[in-house]
Amino acid sequence: MHRRLFTGPLLVAVACGLAACGSDNTNAVGPVSNGGILGSTPGWFDGDVVTFDYTAQFECKNPPSAGSLSHCELGDTAQSMPHANTAIPVLYVMTPLGFMPPDSTLHCPTAGNCVTHPSDVDVSRVFGPGTERNPLPPHSHIIIDPMNHMTTPWVLEVIGVKDLATWNDIAATENLAEVRRLQLADPGEQHITGDIETNIFLFFKVR
Amino acid sequence: MIKLGLRTRPSARAIASLLALVGGGAIVVGACLPWMSYFAGLIPLRGIIGLNGRLLCAAGVLGVAAAGPLARARPGRVRHVTRAGAAALGIAVSAAAVWLLIGVRELTEGRAAHSMLAPKPGIGLVVVFIGGLLLAIEALVGRAVGESA
């Protein structure tokens, strides 16, 4: 992945420090067999803050139409699902767009604090010196079912929030019903986007 | 015939100047547009967040600045140097844009692409590339006008 460039004002010779994805259909390991917990993050559930205990790295299922070798795409559902004893629940990832909400309302204020997330991404290959440690976007989580507090795969759906007022509304209510109300009241997606499907799975149990 | 010739020459000169203006402007705009994004477009990463984008932006400003001498300068050394400089700038910008587009492809589609982020390419570098081409084409138009014009 390392590539040396020509010498000139625009030259960039920085290795891509992103975490590598596998070349198989999935890019990460499945749930750990010993039930070990890799780390935890907060999440919102029905007006309360709960804790997610992660038991495995994330996993992506590659849809046949995906040209990307990363095997993860937004806006497309997975063609194959991880093994699960029940229907796979949805983890809604609330992502602020174009503003920075208070850290207290972010479950992953910096991705480095989130288990299975990298701390930053090296994009200097394209953007040049000074962007070796480009921070990842912060976000928060909402679920609608604790799944009996058992470890299960969760499929991610991303919802973008476009202004602080809308974000604060969601953070104050801490449940998906308010998100749905806001989405219904905003068909033009001026303040909040619709659900953006992914083929990304996380493995955790709700505490 | 002479009248027609006089009308034709300024017109071609104006086209060369316009190409430099539009090309340089496109480079500036392209540097400010997203070159790639996280979460499939939700989080844009604009070119000017890094040195490469700022340098390209500066090159675009130079291209815009070249439009003046190309439009007004009489045939001679100043116009020749401006035309050649703008062309060289356009070629360099286009080459850099192609190289950076390869980098974007590596980051968004190669093994380096981080699955969790779903990075996707943006439009910015394509606009920069087109701007560079316009700058380079300006030299051809200028050449068609001829230094004696």
What are A137's strand-pairing partners? none
A97 and B43: CB-CB below 8 Å? yes
How near does any CA of chain B get to the CA of A99, in Å? 11
Residue A74 CA to residue A117 CA, distance in Å, equals: 17
Q: Which residues lie below 8 Å from residue A70, measured CB to CB, with a gap of 6+?
A: A21, A27, A60, B108, B109, B113, B114, B115, B118, B119
Higher per-residue confidence, A172 vs A4: A172
The DSSP 8-state label assigned to residue A69 in this structure reads T
Q: Chain B residues contacting A, CB < 8 Å?
A: 35-36, 38-40, 42-43, 45, 47, 49-53, 55-56, 92, 96, 99-100, 103-104, 106-119
CATH architecture classification, B9-145:
Up-down Bundle (1.20)
- Write the CA distances from B14 to B5, B73, B78, B138, integer angstroms: 14, 11, 16, 10
φ, ψ of residue A199 in degrees (nearest 5): -115, 30
A1 and B52: CB-CB below 8 Å? no
Residue A74: pLDDT band (50, 70, 90) is low
CA A67 from centre of chain: 20
B50 and A27: CB-CB below 8 Å? no
Does residue A69 contact residue B113 with C-beta atoms inside 8 Å?
yes
> What is the DSSP track for B48-115?
GGSHHHHHHHHHHHHHHHHHHHHHHPPTTHHHHHHHHHHHHHHHHHHHHHHHHHHHHHHHHHSTTS-G
The DSSP 8-state label assigned to residue A98 in this structure reads S
How many other C-beta atoms can be found within 10 angstroms of the C-beta atom of residue A4? 10
The least confident of A3-12, B12-21, B52-61, B118-127 is A3-12
**H or E segment and range at residue B130:** helix B124-145
A136 and B112: CB-CB below 8 Å? no
| Closest alpha carbon to B61 in B50, B73, B48, B74 | B48
A137 and B110: CB-CB below 8 Å? no
Structure-token pair, residue B134:
């316009």
How near does any CA of chain A get to the CA of B74, in Å? 32
State residue B114's pLDDT score.
57
Q: Quick check: A120 pLDDT over 70?
A: no
Higher per-residue confidence, B124 vs A99: B124
| Chain B residues whose beta carbon lies within 8 Å of the beta carbon of residue A60 | 115
How near does any CA of chain B get to the CA of A83, in Å? 20
Q: Quick check: A106 pLDDT over 80?
A: yes
Instruction: Report pTM.
Output: 0.60
When CB atoms are compared, the residue of A5, A69, A117 closest to B116 is: A117
When CB atoms are compared, the residue of A27, A127, A137 closest to B49 is: A127
Q: Quick check: A200 pLDDT over 90?
A: no
A20 and B112: CB-CB below 8 Å? yes
When CB atoms are compared, the residue of B92, B103, B117 closest to A126 is: B103
Q: Is the ipTM of this complex over 0.85?
A: no
Q: Which among B115, B120, B128 is the top mutation candidate for probing chain A, defined by the most A β-carbons within 10 Å of its own β-carbon?
A: B115
A68 and B114: CB-CB below 8 Å? no
Q: Quick check: A26 pLDDT over 50?
A: no
Q: Quick check: A119 pLDDT over 90?
A: no
pLDDT in tens, B73-99: 677 778 788 888 999 999 999 999 999
The least confident of A2-6, A71-75, A132-136, B67-71 is A2-6
Residue A182 CA to residue A195 CA, distance in Å, equals: 12
Q: Quick check: A83 pLDDT over 80?
A: no
Q: Quick check: A28 pLDDT over 60?
A: no
Residue A8 identity: G
Q: Which among A57, A70, A74 is the top mutation candidate for probing chain B, defined by the most B β-carbons within 10 Å of its own β-carbon?
A: A70
Q: Quick check: B8 pLDDT over 60?
A: no
Quick one: average pLDDT of B131-139?
91
| Closest alpha carbon to A133 in A115, A120, A152, A149 | A120
The least confident of A72-86, A123-137, B20-34, B49-63 is A72-86
- The residue ranges of every structural domain in chain B are 9-145
